[in-house]
Amino acid sequence: MWKKKTSKFPGGIHPTDGYDKLMTMNLPVQEYWPKTVTILSEQSFGGTCRLLVKPKDKVKAGDLIGTAEAFMAAPLHASVTGEVLEVKEVMNQGRKILACIVERDQNQESADTKKAYETELVNMDEISREEILAGIRDGGLTGMGGAGFPTHKKYETDKEITTLLINGVECEPFLTCDYRLMMEQSFALLNGVALLFKASGAKEAVICIEDNKPEAIRTLKELLTQAGTMPDKKGFANIRVEELPTQYPQGGERQLIQAVVKKEVPAGGLPADVGVIVSNIGTAKAAADMILGGIPLIRRNVTVTGCVKQPGNYLVPIGTSAKELVELCGGVTVKENRIIAGGPMTEPCVASDWNGEEELFYVTKNTSGILVLPDSKEEEQPCIRCSGCANVCPAGLVPYQIEYAFLEEDYDLCEQLHASECIACGCCSYICPAKRELSVRTRMVRDMVKQRMRERAVKKA
C-alpha cells in the first residue's frame, strides 16, 4: 500500500502487514555474554575516538577507553571486564577501523537484583540540569536508533526548546528491540525520559509510539497516570504518550516532528531550529543507567531475526560479533541470503550469500538489529516514469529525476533538485516497479551535493 488517509506527514509507505515484527515481538530479551568483544573506535560514521588502552591492560566494565576526536564521537567505555588482547584494525562493513579486542573475565555476570530506578519512579527534584548534562556527556550516550549522533550535543544547544520527543516508533520492519525495552524496562525508561526532559528545558515531553504497539502504550500511560497522583513526582507532570498511526518512516526526526508538533524543519536545519529535540527510547534508558545507576552506555538490545532458526532479542555488550549472534540463533536457513546491519529499509547489506564462515560486523551503540533476508536477485529495469517514488518520498523529492541527473553526472541539476534533503529512508526503492536502486543513488548524490556546498562555503569564508 501507499500512504493511508490517517498519515500525519507527507508520503510514506506500509512495507508489511506486521507479520515480520511478530517473529520477535513477544520474545523477552535474553542476556548474552561473548568470550571476547571487538570495540570499534568509530561507533558511528565519522565519529572516531582515540583509544587509551594497549594490549595486556586490565579493564573493568564502564572504564573509559576512548576519547572523542571528531564532532560525531562520544566517549567510549569498556563493555566487559577483562584483559585487552589486541588493539588493531579490523574489517567492519567493508572498512578498516581501529578496534580494541577484550577477552571477558568469565566470572563477570549481571546482578540478578534490579536497582531502585528500575523498579520505581524517582524524584527528579534533587538532580540538577548540570548533573544530567554531565552524565549524558561522560556516559558516552548517542542516538541508538539512527546515525548515532552524540546526545550531549543536542541538549547543549543555545536554541529555546519547547518540545522533547522520545522516539518509540520503531517503524522499521522486523525490529522489536525498542518495543521489548518499553515492555520490560518501563520504570527505568520513564526515569530516563524525565531526566532528558529536565535537561532539555522543554515545556512538554511526548513519548511517541505507533498504534501497532498497544501494550507498550497502555503500560507507559498507566505509569504516568500513577505518577500524577504522587506529589514528589512532579518531574513527570508534563510527560505524555501519543499514539500515532502506523506509517513508515514515522521514526525519522523530521517526519516525527511533522506528525506530532505540526512544524517542518527548514532545509539544511536541525530540529532545534523549530524548538524540538528528538531522542530515541533506548537513549532515554541509557540516560537513566548513567545518571541514576552510574553505568555508561556499554550494552544495548539487539533484534536478530529473519531467516534464522530461532529469532530473538538479546542484551549484548558493545563489540559483540554479529556472526556470533546469528550462530546463537541457530544460523541462517536460506543459502541465497542478504545480511543487513539493522532494519531492511535504511541500513546497509553487509553480506550476500553468506555461508556462516566470515565475520559480518560488530555491534555498536546504534546497532538495532541483525536481519537475514532471502536474496531475490531481481534485476533493474528501465524507469517507466510512473512517479511512484515521488508520491511516497517524505522529503518531497523526485527520486527518479535525481537518479537521472546523477547518472548523467549533472551535479548542478542534482543540487537544483534538492538532493541534499534526502533522508535515505528507502521508500523510493521499495515502491519502484522497475527495481531501480533509487535510494542508494540518491543517498550517494546527497553526500556529493553536501560536500560541494561545504567546499563553496569554505571558499567564501
What integer is the mean pLDDT of 19-28?
Answer: 95
Note whether 366 and 44 are within 8 A (CB).
yes
pLDDT recorded at residue 453: 87
Note whether 344 and 96 are within 8 A (CB).
no
What integer is the mean pLDDT of 168-177?
Answer: 96
For 290, 383, 401, the CA distances from 441, given in Å and listed in that order, are 39, 14, 11
Strand ranges in 178-271 using DSSP code E only, listed in sequence order: 204-210, 239-244
Query: How would you list the strands of the sheet with 82-92, edge to edge?
Result: 36-40, 95-104, 82-92, 58-59
Mean pLDDT of the chain: 93
Confidence of residue 112 (pLDDT cuts 50, 70, 90): low
Backbone torsions φ then ψ of 288, nearest 5 degrees: -65, -40
Q: Please report the sign of the dihedral spanned by the C-alpha atoms of residue 28, residue 34, residue 39, residue 45.
A: negative
Joined together, the cell numbers standing for residue 18 give 506486521
Predicted TM-score (pTM) of the model is 0.94
Residue 397 pLDDT exceeds 60: yes
Q: Bridge-partner residues for 66, per DSSP?
A: 51, 76
pLDDT recorded at residue 18: 79
357 by Cβ neighbours in 10 Å (0-12 / 13-18 / 19+) ranks as: exposed
What integer is the mean pLDDT of 314-341?
Answer: 96
pLDDT tens, residue by residue, 280-316: 999 999 999 999 999 999 999 999 999 999 999 999 9
Residue 3 pLDDT exceeds 50: no
> What is the SS3 assignment for 58?
strand
Joined together, the cell numbers standing for residue 209 give 509510539
Query: How would you list the strands of the sheet with 49-51, edge to edge?
Result: 49-51, 64-68, 76-77
Query: Pairing mode, if any, of strands 82-92 and 58-59?
Result: antiparallel
pLDDT tens, residue by residue, 221-235: 999 999 988 888 888
pLDDT tens, residue by residue, 34-67: 999 999 999 987 789 999 999 999 999 999 999 9
Instruction: Tell the residue number behind the cell numbers 520474545, with chain if given.
Output: 27
What integer is the mean pLDDT of 169-187?
Answer: 97
Query: Pairing mode, if any, of strands 95-104 and 82-92?
Result: antiparallel
Q: How far apart are CA 178 and CA 79, in angstroms?
A: 20
Q: How far apart are CA 177 and CA 199, in angstroms?
A: 25
Q: How far apart are CA 301 and CA 26, in angstroms?
A: 14
pLDDT recorded at residue 455: 86
pLDDT recorded at residue 111: 65
pLDDT recorded at residue 6: 56
Residue 2 pLDDT exceeds 50: no
pLDDT recorded at residue 297: 98
Q: How far apart are CA 381 and CA 436, in angstroms?
A: 7
Instruction: Give me the long-range contacts of 406-415 (CB less than 8 A, separation at least 24).
Output: 406/441, 406/442, 406/444, 406/445, 407/441, 411/445, 411/448, 411/449, 411/452, 414/445, 414/448, 414/449, 415/449, 415/452, 415/453
pLDDT recorded at residue 1: 33
What integer is the mean pLDDT of 363-383?
Answer: 93
Note whether 213 and 132 are within 8 A (CB).
no
For 46, 102, 170, 172, 174, the CA distances from 428, given in Å and listed in that order, are 26, 41, 19, 15, 19
Residue 415 pLDDT exceeds 90: yes
